[in-house]
């Protein structure tokens, strides 16, 4: 699990599959589906502060916020190579 949340995780557009085992669309594809709902911090652990980063444990309907990552790593700050944050 540690490697999964490290910068050497190997997750790319070509290796990140959707729930049907297909390559998921990314930036430049239509529709763009690069966002992954994670609710986690960069190292893969849950947030411990009072901020709800899982939309009420994924049960909210239109209220709240969620942490997302990008499976294609586009949009990450320079030097950050993680998919979950």
Tens digit of pLDDT for each residue in 32-64? 888 888 888 888 888 887 778 888 888 888 788
For residues 35, 38, 43, 49, the Cα torsion angle rounded to the nearest 10 degrees is 120
Task: Label the pairing between strands 35-37 and 68-70.
Answer: antiparallel
The pLDDT value recorded for residue 80 is: 63
The CA–CA distances, whole Å, from 51 to 23, 29, 68, 82 equal: 32, 32, 14, 21
Phi and psi at 66, nearest 5°, equal -140, 145
% of the chain exceeding 70 in pLDDT: 88
* Predicted structure pTM score: 0.65
- Up-side HSE of residue 55: CA atoms within 13 Å toward CB? 12
């Amino acid at each position: 699990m540690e490697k999964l949340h490290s910068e050497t995780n190997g997750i790319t557009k070509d290796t990140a599959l959707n729930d049907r085992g297909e390559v998921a669309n990314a930036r430049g594809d239509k529709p763009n589906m690069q966002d992954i709902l994670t609710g986690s911090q960069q190292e893969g652990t849950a947030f411990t502060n009072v901020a709800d980063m899982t939309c009420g444990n994924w049960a909210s309907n239109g209220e709240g916020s969620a942490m997302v990552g990008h499976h294609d790593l586009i949009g990450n700050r320079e030097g950050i190579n993680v998919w979950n944050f």
